[in-house]
Amino acid sequence: MPVRAIRGATRLTADDPAEMTDAVVELVEAMLERNDLDRDALISVVFTATPDLVCMFPAAAARGAGLGDVPLICAQEIAVPGALSRVVRVLAHAEIDRPRSQISHVYLRGAEVLRQDLAQ
């Protein structure tokens, strides 16, 4: 089975644990649904958060989407002047039997501006 990477991002309105949880769960579930995947297909997931998001780890929020047995890790996004604020990005690796060109990358809550070429 081929391994593919799936990109995604979401934007929060505030550095708030409840909003972080809601946004990350929504993003992960949308990534799975749009790519017709179940959680067992996930190999690992990397989360990054912009430096203004410190209320909790996005990976902890992702456990609310049922990813407790998937290897997860978080990192801080580079603080580039003028970059979009309050953004959580995701790079998920999954076993998926479709060409790279048919992978659906998911950008929500205003994060669509990050990759207009990929956002659907």
Residues assigned a catalytic role: 7, 63, 74, 77, 89, 107, 115
Locate 114 and state its tokens: 């990050």
CA 102 to chain centre: 18
Residue found by looking up tokens 């990397």 in the block: 46
What sign does the CA torsion over 119, 91, 45, 19 have?
A: negative
Distance, in Å, from the CA atom of 64 to the CA atom of 93, rounded to the nearest integer, reads: 19
User: DSSP code of 7?
Assistant: E
Distance, in Å, from the CA atom of 27 to the CA atom of 49, rounded to the nearest integer, reads: 14
